Structure 1
Amino acid sequence: MGRSVAGETGAAAGRRGTRAVSMADVARLAGVSRQTVSRVVNNQACVVEETRKRVEDAMDELGFYPSFAGRSLRGGKYGCIGLCMFDITRAGNVATLDGIVSAARDCGYAVTLVEFDEGGPVRLRNVARRLAELPVDGMIFNTNRAVEDFDEFKPVPGLPTIIISMKEHPRCTTIDSDQYGCSRMVVDYLRERGHAHIRHLAGPEGSITADFRLRGWADALDVAGLERLEPLRGDWTADSGYELGVKLAQDKDMTALYVGNDQMAMGAMTALRTHGRRVPEDVSVVGVDDSLQGVVPHNTLTTVRFDLRERGKRTFDHFFAQMSGEERVEAVRLPGAIVERATVAVRP
């Protein structure tokens, strides 16, 4: 139904004979004014549904397609935002992408997606140049891994830039789920249920997300005066969770295991049970991300859920604020919530 804003003709427009189809052609076929066609193209609400459908049918019949070039000349905006991410096959990145695309759709925007090139040093400056050459109104960088020029990076003038990261930036607003706070919340949740020997299976080194989750766990234990053993590090996969879970099964003092994501948690639980440790009777397990729901049947894992659609919405709120001339730089952190299922038991 909704169509991008366009100029008089579309750059990728259909043709009648040798002439590009225009709004005037659409108006004549639909029996309406050019202003009405413009309102339909701009997806304005002041058009009755019957008229809107007649105009859209005429556009389809004539092969009229609004163009990025026409939109830019007409209003100075493309209705598209550039997004750069690391490996989108990872469950966490897929969820992030879904949150941003959903928010973009709600705002009438499209998303142009590129991936960071990990063949060499990762620099925001290089990706910003690439995106600036495309028809985008702004940029979003999802930097859940380290980038070489994070602190030095300067956004491209005229292109609002938001960074999804737990790290603060001196010139760009950063927004992220509270990876540090979620770990402190999990430790407090387990302590309230009588657990004092809480181990951590962390994500890989170099992951900003994993580092903040590890730091929150360590600080929460230190504040509570509880024993803190060196955490093990996996690679976010269930296989690595299983391999490390085999080692953790030998820790007879451990009563609770906090795992850096749900996939590793599932692997660790399988290893614990295979090696004679019952979950949750012997060892309680908590994951992060709530990424198994709808994927693993009869999912029983207690975990932390982040509202990634809300994060995407807030990202666009700050993007539009910058477009309107607000230059305030903020560090926005959105809390998670514990989803209780069946992998945590109260200690006697």
Structure 2
Amino acid sequence: MSRAVGRGGGSAVSRSADVAQLAGVSRKTVSRVFNDEPYVSADVRRRVLEAAEELDYRRNNAARALASGRTRSIGVVTLGTAGYGVASLLVGIERAVRDAGYALRVVSTLEGEPAGIARAVDSLLDQGVDGIVVSEPVDDGEVPVRVDVPVLFLGAPPVFDVPRMVTAGVGADVLARAATDHLLDLGHTTVHHLAGPQRWYAARDRLKGWQTALGARGRSQPPVIEGDWSAASGYAAGRELASDTSVTAVFAAGDDMAIGLIHALVQAGRRVPEDVSVVGFDDNPVFAYVTPPLTTARQPFDAAAKEGLRLLVHAIEKPDVDLPPASPPPVELVLRSSTAPPPGLKRGKRGDLAAPPAPKP
């Protein structure tokens, strides 16, 4: 889903004129100061810079006011982590930016640092980027920053005010629903959920998809266990669930947590998938080679990045034209050997579910 919102606020040229008027110089002199050209006295340079600071006028605004109009660069704000999902999305963004003919500027943030996004955006604006991609998965509340270029919020809701906003999702809630439906289709009465940390937008989307799938079929929603994306938190959840023999299916919000969960279940004597089926999320290629190979929801990192960048470039290059319709992200469930019908059900000859035969009298 994508949308664009136009707002007022004036052009970079008009603000350049404001700086010139406040400093008592020409607009050309303002341009010379910000491009560090010679033949500008120290007093004039000081007055221009003081006026620019008072008006919150950025260096990149001056650059965009030059004849070239744009720098053909796009900035990315992303969480600095080695996690598979975040890193894979960043790789997809990098490819899409370069394929679109733009240079890439990346600034990383730290989880739990609310001011980090504002500083990252400020840094990118100071570099004169034409647009910004926010691939920031953690909810740190409203961000007090003023932006004057189009912004793509990828997989997360808007966190600050922008002149033209583009949103593009990865369909995490739809994927989570597909993962849960798969387990219900196998015959499981309900599905437990090992969620990610709820400060993460992605974890909330996956929780929502799980809830939607169960609610649509009138199934009970077991208590949610919240992990932290790590295999260790999955292992802890597995130890908690292993003692409950009514648990026959678990949807984990991340592949790492799913692997930790499976390890704990097997240690406790619960077979996977014969006793408990497990589905992960992301499709980290490594987990096709564990025992059992992990069934998982594959995130469309490249497709989401490409579609989002297509819309962002449109917003940059055609600011007065409405955005084209967005293509929905693909939904793909990778079926491997960690899921099966629950104990007491078996596959029929055509793959349909069948109850065990009644005992002979």
1:172-191 to 2 correspondence within 5 Å?
172-191=165-184
1:233: which partner in 2?
226
Give the letter aligned to residue 125 of structure 2.
Answer: A
1:210: which partner in 2?
203
Give the letter aligned to residue 339 of structure 2.
Answer: V
- Summarize the Cα distance change of 1:321–1:297 in structure 2 as closer, same or farther, 3 Å threshold: same
Match of 2:215 among 200, 205, 222: 222
Mapped pair 1:104 → 2:94: no
1:161: which partner in 2?
151
Quote the offset at 1:296 in angstroms.
5.0
Match of 1:283 among 262, 276, 290: 276
Quote the offset at 1:99 in angstroms.
0.6
Match of 2:126 among 127, 133, 136: 133
How far apart are the structure 2 equivalents of 1:191 and 1:178?
20
SS in 1 for 2:153: strand
What are the Cα deviations for residues 32-67 of structure 1, in whole angstroms up to 9, with x where unaligned?
xxxxxxxxxxxxxxxxxxxxxxxxxxxxxxxxxxxx
What are the Cα deviations for residues 198-219 of structure 1, in whole angstroms up to 9, with x where unaligned?
1010001211111111122122
2:37: which partner in 1?
none
In the superposition, the TM-score normalised over structure 2's length comes to: 0.70
C-alpha contact 1:166 1:208 (8 A) present in aligned 2: yes
How far apart are the structure 1 equivalents of 2:154 and 2:329?
11
Mapped pair 1:195 → 2:188: yes
What are the Cα deviations for residues 77-99 of structure 1, in whole angstroms up to 9, with x where unaligned?
32321101112311111111111
Give the letter aligned to residue 134 of structure 2.
Answer: F
How far apart are the structure 2 equivalents of 1:214 and 1:128?
29
Quote the offset at 1:320 in angstroms.
1.2
How far apart are the structure 2 equivalents of 1:294 and 1:229?
26
C-alpha contact 2:63 2:128 (8 A) present in aligned 1: no
Quote the offset at 1:130 in angstroms.
2.0
SS in 1 for 2:281: coil
1:295-334 to 2 correspondence within 5 Å?
300-323=293-316, 324-325=318-319, 326=321, 328=323, 334=329
Quote the offset at 1:316 in angstroms.
1.2
Mapped pair 1:344 → 2:339: yes
- Summarize the Cα distance change of 1:118–1:191 in structure 2 as closer, same or farther, 3 Å threshold: closer
SS in 2 for 1:111: strand
How far apart are the structure 2 equivalents of 1:295 and 1:185?
19
1:93: which partner in 2?
86
- Summarize the Cα distance change of 1:259–1:161 in structure 2 as closer, same or farther, 3 Å threshold: same
How far apart are the structure 1 equivalents of 2:111 and 2:95?
27
C-alpha contact 1:176 1:334 (8 A) present in aligned 2: yes
C-alpha contact 1:166 1:179 (8 A) present in aligned 2: no
Match of 1:267 among 240, 260, 264: 260
- Summarize the Cα distance change of 1:179–1:153 in structure 2 as closer, same or farther, 3 Å threshold: farther
- Summarize the Cα distance change of 1:331–1:248 in structure 2 as closer, same or farther, 3 Å threshold: farther
SS in 2 for 1:89: coil
Give the letter aligned to residue 69 of structure 2.
Answer: G
C-alpha contact 2:77 2:121 (8 A) present in aligned 1: no
Deviates more, 1:309-318 or 1:292-301: 292-301
How far apart are the structure 1 equivalents of 2:63 and 2:313?
21
How far apart are the structure 2 equivalents of 1:329 and 1:116?
31
C-alpha contact 1:116 1:127 (8 A) present in aligned 2: yes
How far apart are the structure 1 equivalents of 2:186 and 2:71?
53
How far apart are the structure 2 equivalents of 1:85 and 1:303?
24
- Name the % identity: 32
C-alpha contact 1:173 1:330 (8 A) present in aligned 2: no
C-alpha contact 1:123 1:147 (8 A) present in aligned 2: no
2:108: which partner in 1?
115
C-alpha contact 1:144 1:165 (8 A) present in aligned 2: yes
C-alpha contact 2:314 2:323 (8 A) present in aligned 1: no
Quote the offset at 1:327 in angstroms.
5.0
C-alpha contact 1:195 1:256 (8 A) present in aligned 2: yes
C-alpha contact 1:263 1:292 (8 A) present in aligned 2: no
Runs of at least 5 residues in structure 2 that lack an aligned partner in the other structure: 1-61, 346-361
- Summarize the Cα distance change of 1:297–1:76 in structure 2 as closer, same or farther, 3 Å threshold: farther
- Summarize the Cα distance change of 1:130–1:333 in structure 2 as closer, same or farther, 3 Å threshold: farther
Deviates more, 1:195-204 or 1:134-143: 134-143
Give the letter aligned to residue 189 of structure 1.
Answer: H
RMSD (CA atoms): 2.8
Quote the offset at 1:194 in angstroms.
0.6
